Amino acid sequence: MSQPEPFSRIKIRVGAVVFCGDDVALIRRDRPTGSHYTPPGGNVRAGEPLPDALAREMSEELHLDLAEASAPELAWICDQMVSRPGPTPPPRKIHMIFRCHITPQVRQGLATVEYDAQPDGSAEPGVIEWVDYRKADRLPLFPLVGQALAALAHPRAPIDAVLLPAATDATYTWR
């Protein structure tokens, strides 16, 4: 049986930029090739409603109960078709990034480290950093929401363009 073509499978990932004032929660992963950041989130399970997936991921990664946050609103969609190392063809991934807000009191109870399960059974730690959203365009942030995030006039500013440019091998290098 032949391997599927690259990007022939489609996965959906939900994530959130969780604001506390001017800061947003990002997960920093340190690797030999350098550090990179991502909004907390993860893949949607087969048959899982998007709101349930978002609530599950925020609970798993930040220990955030979305009932303690403002109602999540869809902020950005990023279509990813990026080659990556490994034996299986890369999937096409649709990133749906939501925005919500929490209070400083809620922030105090959130996780400071997130552990990402690896195929070998180990867990890769990621440090949860609170970063001024206006500096997001200076970070190696994936999906590519940094410019749109930093361009907001204020944390609750309307989102002008939900659909972001696609992440492809021409615009992003997997590391």
- What is the predicted pLDDT for the residue at 89? 82
| Structure-block tokens of residue 28 | 């920093």
DSSP alpha helix (H) spans, 69-150 = 104-108, 146-150
From first CA to last CA, the distance across the chain in angstroms is 29
- Domains of the chain from N-terminus onward: 10-153 (3.90.79.10)
pTM score of the predicted model: 0.93
- What is the predicted pLDDT for the residue at 1? 57
Tens of each residue's pLDDT in the chain, 175 residues: 566 788 888 999 999 999 999 999 999 999 888 899 999 999 999 999 999 999 999 999 999 999 999 999 999 999 999 987 777 788 899 999 999 999 999 999 999 999 988 888 888 899 999 999 999 999 999 999 999 999 999 999 999 899 999 999 898 877 6
Alpha carbon distances (Å) from 17 to 86, 101, 105, 119: 29, 8, 18, 27
